[in-house]
């Protein structure tokens, strides 16, 4: 492959073979150095808010319909960051650092032009399998996004297929703190192509949903190269209004869509009916700011501090140092688990409580017959605005 340095061709081939014969948790496989990313998965939830003005705009709507469209616009506009930003920044998709249990990431997007400050708290809530919980809130605008993310991977036709496990719930509150709207957001399936050439990239496939408590439903279909116009990163979203005929407590969506939004999620898209631009992500995005800039100021569980020497090794091409430092972290984790077992204690999550089934997922999932019908969730522990300090983490 063209993306593979000559010296790593054999180890890349070996790695591909191990992926092909492996199913489950890819994060635990040892990959050749050229494909390693210095960034941990706990930083990924920041992709949800790299266009803070689109997030805050959700609160500046007047009707259920406008709000549903604003949520869809914000969601589609996050996809480029979520699924193509490693290609832009690091040259291809890379293998992220596999977070340790209890790893944290804190950040914010500042209040500019009255959009309110948006805060991010991420915690790795499981190591095996890897599960990342996140909470994003803009208290000024009454917006709260809570979710968790895990993956099931398999190998098919030379590509890695990633089924995303988990979901996100977006809550919109009035200034009086009453719930105005609530949305269940499910996540698309991924295919990682380009493996043979050592330059992996993501294509999205199948369908994801955004269901509101007022019965509005967005159904988003994803297609890649070789479908329709043959272009990569295509989507088509249909927005269904609530059925006027409904009798149940939860409004059900109609069978005919009111809006169709179509285009390329990494560039632009249009409203089919009006011809107007729907999303445009060709303008710069705003990366998250970490609360404490200096690594020394951070809590020792904070991702960038925890991985600092591993990341440095990867960034500077000193892979021996990177692997030595990684082993230190892993050994320390193993010792912790052994100590807990000996003491009969369990690791305590710091910012989230686990629930076995999420009632909002269960309820709103009925609008599109969510599979599975039940899912667990991680609920942010802190009521009201949470002020983070290295000590409080």
Q: Which residues of this chain interact with ligand 0T9, rule CB under 6 A?
A: 26-27, 31, 35, 44, 47, 82-83, 93-96, 149, 151, 160, 162, 164, 192, 200
CB of 132 to ligand 0T9, least distance (A): 7
Task: Report residue 217 as tokens.
Answer: 């439903």
Nearer to ligand 0T9 by Cβ, of 34 and 388: the residue is 34
Q: How far apart are CA 140 and CA 331, in angstroms?
A: 43
Name, in order, each residue with C-beta under 8 angstroms of 272's C-beta and a sequence gap of 6 or more: 259, 260, 261, 262
CB of 296 to ligand 0T9, least distance (A): 28
Q: How far apart are CA 35 and CA 166, in angstroms?
A: 26
Nearer to ligand 0T9 by Cβ, of 99 and 241: the residue is 99
Q: How far apart are CA 138 and CA 116, in angstroms?
A: 6
Task: Give me the residues paired with residue 191 across strands.
Answer: 161, 203
Nearer to ligand 0T9 by Cβ, of 116 and 166: the residue is 166
CB of 191 to ligand 0T9, least distance (A): 10
Which among 153, 186, 181, 180 has a CA at the least distance from the CA of 167? 186
CB of 201 to ligand 0T9, least distance (A): 9
Question: 379 φ, ψ to 5°?
Answer: -105, 130
Q: Are strands 36-40 and 95-97 parallel, antiparallel or unpaired?
A: parallel
Helical packing angle, 308-316 and 319-343, nearest 10°: 160
Name, in order, each residue with C-beta under 8 angstroms of 53's C-beta and a sequence gap of 6 or more: 113, 115
CB of 259 to ligand 0T9, least distance (A): 25
Nearer to ligand 0T9 by Cβ, of 134 and 240: the residue is 134
Alpha helices in the chain (DSSP H): 9-20, 52-57, 64-90, 303-306, 308-316, 319-343, 359-364
Nearer to ligand 0T9 by Cβ, of 186 and 253: the residue is 186
CB of 187 to ligand 0T9, least distance (A): 7
Q: How far apart are CA 191 and CA 151, in angstroms?
A: 12
CB of 256 to ligand 0T9, least distance (A): 31
Nearer to ligand 0T9 by Cβ, of 151 and 279: the residue is 151
CB of 87 to ligand 0T9, least distance (A): 10
Which residues in 174-196 are b (16+ Cβ under 10 Å) and which e?
Answer: eeeeeebbbbbbbbbbbbbbbbb
Task: Report residue 61 as tokens.
Answer: 């709507």
Nearer to ligand 0T9 by Cβ, of 241 and 313: the residue is 313
Nearer to ligand 0T9 by Cβ, of 2 and 177: the residue is 2
CB of 339 to ligand 0T9, least distance (A): 29
E strand map for 68-200? 95-97, 104-109, 118-126, 131-138, 143-156, 159-165, 168-173, 179-185, 189-193
CB of 312 to ligand 0T9, least distance (A): 20
> Residue 315, Cβ neighbours under 10 Å: how many?
12
CB of 274 to ligand 0T9, least distance (A): 30
Give the residue closest to ligand 0T9 by C-beta: 95
Nearer to ligand 0T9 by Cβ, of 27 and 269: the residue is 27
Nearer to ligand 0T9 by Cβ, of 207 and 254: the residue is 207
Nearer to ligand 0T9 by Cβ, of 11 and 252: the residue is 11
Q: How far apart are CA 34 and CA 319, in angstroms?
A: 10
Provide the terminal-to-terminal Cα distance of the chain, rounded to the nearest Å.
Answer: 44
> Residue 216, Cβ neighbours under 10 Å: how many?
28
């Amino acid at each position: 492959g063209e993306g593979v340095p000559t010296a790593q061709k054999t180890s890349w081939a070996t790695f591909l073979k191990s992926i092909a014969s492996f199913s489950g948790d890819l994060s635990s496989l040892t990959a050749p150095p050229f494909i390693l990313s210095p960034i941990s998965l706990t930083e990924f939830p920041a992709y949800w808010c790299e266009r803070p003005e689109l997030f805050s705009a959700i609160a500046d709507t007047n009707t259920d319909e406008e709000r549903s469209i604003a949520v869809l616009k914000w969601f589609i506009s996050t996809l480029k960051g979520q699924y193509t930003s490693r290609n832009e920044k690091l040259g291809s998709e890379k293998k992220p650092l596999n977070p340790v249990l209890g790893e944290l990431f804190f950040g914010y997007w500042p209040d500019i032009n009255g959009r309110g400050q948006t805060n991010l708290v991420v915690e790795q809530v499981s190591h095996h399998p890897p599960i990342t919980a996140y909470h994003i809130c803009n208290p000024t605008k009454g917006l709260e996004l809570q979710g968790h993310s895990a993956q099931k991977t398999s190998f098919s036709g030379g590509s890695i297929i990633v089924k995303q496990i988990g979901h996100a719930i977006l809550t919109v509150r009035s200034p009086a703190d009453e719930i105005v709207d609530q949305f269940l957001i499910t996540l698309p399936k991924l295919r990682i192509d380009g493996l043979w050439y050592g330059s992996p990239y993501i294509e999205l496939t199948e369908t994801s949903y955004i269901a509101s408590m007022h019965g509005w439903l967005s159904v988003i279909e994803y297609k890649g190269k070789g479908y329709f116009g043959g272009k990569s990163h295509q989507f088509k979203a249909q927005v269904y209004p609530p059925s006027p005929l409904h009798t149940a407590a939860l409004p059900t969506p109609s069978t005919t869509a009111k809006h169709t939004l179509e285009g390329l999620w990494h560039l632009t898209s249009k409203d089919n009916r009006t011809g107007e631009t729907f999303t445009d992500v060709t303008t710069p995005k705003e990366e998250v700011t970490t609360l404490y800039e200096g690594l020394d100021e951070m809590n020792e569980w904070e991702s960038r501090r925890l991985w600092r020497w591993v990341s440095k090794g990867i960034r500077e091409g000193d892979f021996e140092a990177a692997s030595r430092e990684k082993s230190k972290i892993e050994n320390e984790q193993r010792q912790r688990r052994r100590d807990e077992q000996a003491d009969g204690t369990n690791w305590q999550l710091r910012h989230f409580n686990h629930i076995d089934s999420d009632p909002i997922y269960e309820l709103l999932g009925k609008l599109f017959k969510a599979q599975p019908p039940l899912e667990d969730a991680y609920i942010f522990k802190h009521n009201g605005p949470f002020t983070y300090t290295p000590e409080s983490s």
